[in-house]
Structure 1
Amino acid sequence: MQAAEINPTVATPVSQQLQQSRTATSNQQQRESGESAGTAGSNQQQRAKQQNARDAIDPSATATTTTASASGAASRVVQGSSEKPPRLDGQSAAHAALRTSSAAKPGVSQGISAEWDAKYYWSALGLITVISLATRLFMLSEPHFVIFDEVHFGKFASYYLRREYFFDVHPPIGKMLLALVGYLSGNDGSYLFENLGADYLVDNVPYLPLRAFCAVLGALIAPASFVTLSAFGYSVVTSTLAGLLVVLDVGLLTQSRYILLDSMLLFFTIAAFASLAQFISKRESPFTSGWIFWLASTGVFLGFAVGIKYVGIFVIAAVGLYTIYDLWTLLGDLSVPILGAGSDDRPTFIEHFAIRAVFLIIVPIAIFLAGFAIHFAVLTQSGPGDAFMSLAFQAGLQGSSIQNLTRTHPKTIYYGAYVTIKSQAHNCYIHSHLHRYPLHYPTGRVSSAQQQVTCYAHKDANNWWIILREQDTDASQYKELMPVRHGDRIKLVHATSNTTLNSHDVAGPVNAILQEVSTFNAAVDTVTPYPVFRIDTNYSPILWSTLGLGGTPEWESMLPFRLHHENTSATLQTKGEALPEWGFGQGEVTTAVTGVSIADSSFVVEEIEDHIFRHSDATNPIRARLGFLQSFIELQTEMFAANNRLTDNHAYQSRPSEWPLLHRGISFWQGDQRQVYLIGNPVIWWSATAAILLLAVADVVLLIRERRAVYDLAPATRFRMVVCGRMLLLAWALHYVPFMTFARQLFLHHYLPALMFKIMILAIVLEHGVEFVVGLAAKLFGPSVRSSGRVALLMVASTTTAVAIRYFLLLAPLAYGMYQARSDVEAIKLRKSWDLKL
């Protein structure tokens, strides 16, 4: 009998064949080892009980997947082989279940409503897409005012069209997509979205194409959720439920209708996950065109996600962790050769690793970097973002005031130079004056009583410093040009007071955990000075040698540098803290060994003057523009620093612990008896929170029982619940838990990426709950009960959808900005903490 002769739809013959296999194997082992027949029979009965337990929960799925996995082994048993059949639990069960579902139409489940899947798949997908588009595009022109962060992202799109340099904490791809839509719709960038609440109609602004672009991408989140669960093997009913719940969430609706980055982020995040799910569904046919397409799509969508907002890194982490698991599984598959081709010419492990590295690492990085390359190429004019960048960067912007300075500004810094040193992050100069630190502070602490060093926001004669070698005391001895290089140990002498910059183990004037910075006057001060600092130009020896450059780089003006105190190994910094009245409110300057940020410790030489430069390159302009790598690193540093500075309180900020239960929302706009207020659908949010807990508990219970060799689920069901369920839980956790560590301002909309996965978790928990109840009923009342599983799932899905619709209709006016009477607003205020305008 051949394997092909086994009917894959009939369960009984396979069970008999597997039983024969177990019996034959047991008898063979008895003959070889002399074990007693009673012991073998006991083991055989135990295995039969485990098989019956699986059959009791889901016999139809067990039959299907068992047949697909064991047909070859069963045929060998019929022919008299004593070879053991393959295990059908653990990873083998998951792979067998996947092969079974892949044999049918891709994305069609083998669950309790499988017969509906092939028939209604495309109809359901189309219906979800149409409904989602309708809800997102409805009343899109209202309100016709600049609302919430449209004031930022609309403005940034206009700056791209004007080619004026601006600064933002988010990567550029999302804003460039908005600019592209604006360009195609006739926007010339003249309108800058500067005033919150300004009327688009009065200024004749073409804002609808921008909103429509965001709305369409937001609408596609729902069908992408449907595709994800279908690819994971869930029924059309469950996949449709997930898509409809995404449509019916008022929070996702609100965030998708306006000129914001979030709808783009959400779409590319779920698109990457849906592509990964499709890729997983084709894992039994590697290196086919479909397999490669979905792998490549995953990488492309990952690149766009992180290129829109940095939180896109969370979906990259989710995909990356699965890929590690996938490669680890392949490494343990002895049928997959490591290097050379196997007997059946299967792809090698190295080939699997390489193609994943290309599409899941190189492609996203390339897209991310390309976004910044285009950003720099487009923004060539001086603009409002100049002040965030170094003088060297500003010098490359057309129309920048720094360009005039570069005509007489030397590129290289030499010993003996008079310089002003500016903090980029805090826009102030390292400064000293004749006033000294108070010997005793009000707190009782004692200072060095040496001359103050501060950070002063204005140009002043007391901002000038002279650069000396560590062993020198006077600049007059320098008769030739000696460039200062990376790693040189230098002294900085204050030009007007002839005192030397100094730091020591004395507590800072404001921050006692930091070290005081002062200047030392040899004629007055008796404490031993420590005036030597080491110059750090952010030099990379590896990069320097790669470029074929010898020696160490010279210290160049206008490029960021840091100063490290030699005696204490601390780094010079200013954190923006203001000194008390005795320090005239100027900024505190300190050194610290740990906890020093790059932004707080980065300085530039803004001005240089001295006779030593009469024969230098002072008449040569600095290079026109920094290279891409330097510009990219500088911008990344400033973006992260600016993000961390977003610590001020906001009227509608919230903490991550408040998000799952919808403690409060965000007011986007308020008008006359109208408002746009972002809040979620409480039925969806609260029930999905419970679903996460249920799935986590069920997973732990299954792990414990399987550890005791008790298998409650058929392989196909186990694959969906354990493998796919864990992936969704992981994605939700990665998009939620990290925010608990953030000190910056946070808002409810930061939870929306996690919400997408949370909604899918709710849908699959409902399907598994129905499967479990139907399985128990079949065990108690007979197999005929199982035929009602599809009806039960439909009833649960319909009831859930109906309740979600009820609250969607109740809260939708807040998303659309509809007119509402005071009584209507009071009726929809389901929690006292919802700060709606009454």
Structure 2
Amino acid sequence: LRLDMTLIFVLAFTVITRLWALHAPSQAVWDEVHFGRFAGEYIRGRFFFDLHPPLGKLIFAAVAWLGGQKTAFTMSKIGDAYDGSTVPYLLMRLVSASCGIAIVLVIYLLLRGLGCSRWTCNLGAWLIAVDNASCILSRLIILDAQLVLACLITITACVWMTRFPRFSRSWLLCLLLSGLGLGITTSIKLVGLGAVGIVGLITLHDLGQRLQEVLHKPTRATVQRWLADFALRSICLVALPLAIYVGTFALHLALLPRSGTGDAFFSKPFQASLDGNIHNLPLDGPPQLANGSVVSLRSLHGSSAWLHSHAHRYPVYPNGTDGLVSSHQQQVTAFSFTNDYNSLWRLELVRQGEFSLAAKPLISTPSDLPQLLYHGDLIRLVHVATGLPLHTHDVAAPLTPTLQEVSCFAPGDHRVPPGQVGHQPKMDIWRIDVTDTTEPEVLALRSALRFVHANTSAALLISGQNLPSWGFFQLEVAATRDINQVSTLAWTWVADHHVHDQLPKASKEHVPEISFWGKLVELHQVMYEAQSRLSKQAHAYSSPPLIWPLVFQGISFWQHPENNQQIYLLGNPLVWWLLSVGHATQCVPTLALVVDLESRREFRARILFTHTAFFRRLAWGVGVLGAGWLILYLPFVLMERQLFLHSYWPALCLRQVLGPRKKANTHTH
């Protein structure tokens, strides 16, 4: 390709708009919260679940690791500051920005492959460069820029392949690049399956034409060449993409060997393959909990931490603006050190008649055994070291005022919330719920448990915040009355280190092993089910696909809390509207020409004979881009769930170059 000064100008403009002040804002923007967290999970090796294939997230994780990130991504919501963290967010954004710059160059090459003039190619590249939406989506830690670049490279390589002689070095290189592109595109997002459809149409068209030539003059040599062509395409366009796709999942699973936030979505055999999962830990005591069981309670929220208490009290401190003070009762925290005597709790069953809510009939237990515990039983959690019961009340937690304080209550405690007088012994009763199965047994290491306070209906949880020095920097334990406002794992507990002298030891539970292929199938089943469960309700920034080309509604990605600066995703109205009008106006005369030619058969033959090259170029260029746009766009029209404007970007890129391609053909004619 000769030096094109206009293209250099377009690329320079693109570099400036994609890289200028890339560090701003130094806060988490939109889905950076999710993809940054996924990168941190790869670095820590903790299993997670996401709707999309893993390659794009693996790329971000690799860049984060090379940039020095060694810990978790701590930004939990839009607007959380990167300042002071170890997250190399600038390098991670640079991945997307580099892809955004490359997209403009690939658009130019795609139009050249379709036979367009340099003027037309530069126009197509310029339309992408000046598009606001393309610019914004190329500056964030999200998958869209990677997806669009891989998709366009795939289509471009396939188009250029049709320009070279079969089996030439250039033809083989383009074929290989097409296969690599297909594997990479589908491994980033399943929207990349649209590229499979586009490449499939081009391949079928090309193979069909060559098959007609073979059938017209069948010889042994022509048949062998066609079969060799078919075999090479099968290897490069089917086997190679599948190998890449499966390989990314193999790498994904290899990098996430430890139990994490994604465990609960999967079967017991899948979970048992993860280090530290409750189904992968050996039972060191009786399998089922009973009245009098002594256990340690491990939270599934983040890194391992056990429910803990010690002979230190909450300090007397002002608690917000409501005038309340702390209870000054014994601290309850979560401690990351295992085998600590202060982390042992005895479960005492509340009998019928002792408490008004304990009217549920108990499931019978053999007379020679202590009463076994079942889902819904009422219990006390008694701290073994101090003998005090776990307690919560209407006092704000020390660090999170919206949560209730959790403490251990002694009969002599006199500091109680205003309006409460003396000791209230019934405030130490909890309901034990089994949340991960319909089976009622409360099992050590196997059951996911929730403890709900009988009087206030507040669930015991870890807030995720570290207490100051008076709490020895251990994790805050509190209780919430609204479990829907916190992560499920925050209030999920597992009983381990179970001891009970009157119960028999457990025999080893047999959990079937699961192969890599079994994991791969289950992963895709869960991905499909999660996609089908996505909300169908309208969102403030969701929009129906039919209005996407008209850019009537955008998405607010980020807003400064003080000066109302915003990052708002919106396409360039001038470009989008002109393309919509242009496509509509060009469809009418094209249709009229076809009707006119059909009505005048004798004139049609002369027109087609005289302008055969023009019609072939028109059908080829517009057909590839138009079909590609429809393949990438129409599936969203058929979906019944929340959809957002950014999903239109892959189809938009083909639509934006479809206009220049039509114009080029019109000028040629």
TM-score, normalised to structure 2, is 0.64
Q: SS in structure 1 opposite 2:558?
A: strand
Q: Distance in 1 between matches of 2:220 and 2:587?
A: 41
Residue 132 of structure 1, CA deviation: 1.7
CA distance in 1, matches of 2:666, 2:227: 41
CA distance in structure 1 between the partners assigned to 2:592 and 2:133 by the alignment: 33
Distance between the aligned counterparts of 2:216 and 2:45, measured in 1? 53
Determine the structure 2 residue equivalent to 1:353: 230
Matches within 5 A, 1:299-314: 299-314=179-194
Q: Which residue of 2 aligns with 1:511?
A: none
Relative to 1, partners in 2 of residues 1:405 and 1:223: Cα closer, same or farther, differing over 3 Å? same
What is the aligned partner in structure 2 of residue 330 from structure 1? 210
1:652 corresponds to which of 529, 538, 541? 541
Q: Give, in angstroms, the shift of residue 622 of structure 1.
A: 2.9
Q: Which secondary structure does the structure 2 equivalent of 1:381 belong to?
A: coil
Q: Which amino acid aligns with 2:92?
A: L
Partner of 2:577: 686
1:665 alignment partner AA: G
Aligned match of 2:658: 761
Q: 2:11 aligns with which of 129, 147, 159?
A: 129
- Match of residue 177 from structure 2: 297
Conserved in 2, the CA contact under 8 Å of 1:339 and 1:350?
no
CA 1:407–1:214 in structure 2 vs 1: closer, same or farther (change >3 Å)? farther
CA contact (8 A) 2:75 2:81 kept: no
On the 8 A contact 1:338/1:350 being kept in 2, the answer is no
The residue correspondences of 1:277-292 to structure 2 (distance < 5 A) are 277-282=159-164, 285-292=165-172
Question: How far apart are 1:721 and its partner, in Å?
Answer: 1.2
Residues 214, 256 of structure 1: 8 Å contact kept: yes
Partner of 1:144: 26
1:315 aligns to 2:212 (yes or no): no
The structure 2 residue matched to 1:206, chosen from 88, 109, 112, is 88
Is structure 2 residue 273 aligned with structure 1 residue 399? no
Match of 2:516 in 1: 628
Q: Is the 8 A contact 1:261 1:308 kept in 2?
A: yes
- Aligned pair in 2 of structure 1 residues 332, 125: CA closer, same or farther (>3 Å)? same
Q: Secondary structure at the match of 1:383?
A: coil
Deviation for aligned residue 1:189: 3.3
After the TM superposition, which segments of 4 or more aligned residues of structure 1 sit over 6 Å from their partners?
335-339, 405-410, 461-464
Post-superposition Cα deviations, 1:503-542, rounded to whole Å, max 9, x if no partner, equal xxxxxxxxxxxxxxxxxxxxxxxxxxxxxxxxxxxxxxxx
The answer to whether the aligner puts 1:719 opposite 2:616 as a matched pair is: yes
2:259 paired with 1:382 = yes
**Gap change, CA 1:717 and 1:286, over 3 Å in 2:** same
Aligned twin of 1:665: 554
Structure 1 counterpart of 2:249: 372
Cα contact 2:31–2:141 (8 A) shared by 1: yes
Question: What is the deviation of 1:191?
Answer: 2.6
Give the AA of the match of 1:749. Answer: H
Q: Indicate how the Cα distance of structure 1 residues 329 and 200 shifts in structure 2: closer, same or farther if over 3 A, else same.
A: same
Matched, 1:184 2:72: no
Local SS of the residue matching 1:659? helix
Q: Which stretch of structure 1 is more off in the superposition, 347-356 or 702-711?
A: 702-711
2:568 to 666, 677, 688: 677
**Per-residue Cα deviation, 1:453-472 (whole angstroms, up to 9, x for no partner):** xxxxxxxx9999xxxxxxxx
For the pair shown, which has the larger CA radius of gyration, 1 or 2?
Answer: 1
CA RMSD for the aligned pairs?
A: 3.4
Amino acid at match of 1:646: L
Deviation at 1:150, TM superposition (A): 0.3
Matched, 1:728 2:625: yes
How far did 1:640 drift? 1.1
- How far off is 1:315 after superposition? 1.3
Partner Cα separation in structure 1 for residue 591 and residue 229 of structure 2? 31
Equivalent residues of 1:162, 1:189 under 8 A apart: yes
Partner of 2:78: 196
CA pair 262-684 structure 1, distance change in 2 beyond 3 A: same
* Corresponding position of 1:237: 119
Residues 395/322 of structure 1: CA separation in 2 closer, same or farther (3 Å cut): same
| Distance in 1 of aligned mates of 2:523 and 2:217 | 45
Distance 1:339 1:362 in 2: 29
Aligned to 2:133: 251
Counterpart of 1:641 in structure 2: which amino acid? E
Aligned AA (1:170): H
Aligned length: 459
Deviation at 1:742, TM superposition (A): 0.7
For residues 391-790 of structure 1, what are the structure 2 equivalents within 5 Å?
A: 391-404=268-281, 619=508, 621-623=510-512, 626-647=514-535, 648-671=537-560, 672-697=563-588, 699-701=590-592, 703-704=594-595, 708=601, 709-710=604-605, 711=607, 714-772=611-669
Normalising by structure 1, we get a TM-score of 0.51
Q: Is the 8 A contact 1:268 1:305 kept in 2?
A: yes
Q: Counterpart of 1:226 in structure 2: which amino acid?
A: Y
Q: Secondary structure at the match of 2:281?
A: helix
Distance 1:278 1:689 in 2: 28
CA distance in 1, matches of 2:7, 2:285: 66
- The equivalent of 2:381 in structure 1 is none
SS of the residue corresponding to residue 281 of structure 1 reads: coil
More helix by share: 1
Deviation, 1:195, is 2.7
1 CA distance for matches of 2:597 and 2:620?
14
What displacement does 1:318 show?
1.2
Distance 1:322-1:406 versus aligned 2 partners, 3 A rule: farther
Residue from 42, 49, 61 that aligns with 1:167: 49
Partner SS state of residue 677, structure 1 = strand
Q: Deviations over 1:202-223 (max 9, x none)?
A: 3353210000011101111111
Deviates more, 1:264-273 or 1:318-327: 318-327
Shift of 1:626: 1.9
* Distance of aligned partners of 1:693 and 1:401 in 2 relative to their CA distance in 1, 3 Å threshold: same
Letter of the 1:726 partner, please give it.
G
- Contact 1:273–1:319 (CA<8 Å) still a contact in 2? yes
Does the C-alpha gap of structure 1 residues 717 and 748 become closer, same or farther in structure 2, counting only changes over 3 Å?
same
Whole-angstrom distance in 2 between the partners of 1:143 and 1:227 = 33
Q: Partner letter of residue 191 of structure 2?
A: V
CA distance, structure 2, for counterparts of residue 201 and residue 715 of structure 1 = 63
Q: 1:196 to 1:119 in 2, by over 3 A?
A: closer
Q: Output the amino acid matched with 1:354.
A: A
User: Aligned partners of 1:334, 1:327: CA distance in 2, in Å?
Assistant: 10
Q: 2-side partners of 1:317 and 1:168: how far apart?
A: 24
By how many angstroms is 1:704 displaced? Answer: 4.5
> Partner of 2:559: helix, strand, or coil?
strand
Contact 2:158-2:202 within 8 A present in 1 as well: no
**In 1: Cα distance, 2:255 partner to 2:362 partner:** 36
User: Partner letter of residue 644 of structure 1?
Assistant: S
Look up the SS of the partner of 2:567 in the other structure: strand
Task: Give the aligned partner of residue 340 of structure 2.
Answer: none
Matched, 1:226 2:114: no
State the distance in 1 between where 2:620 and 2:655 align: 16
8 Å contact kept, 1:327–1:353 = yes
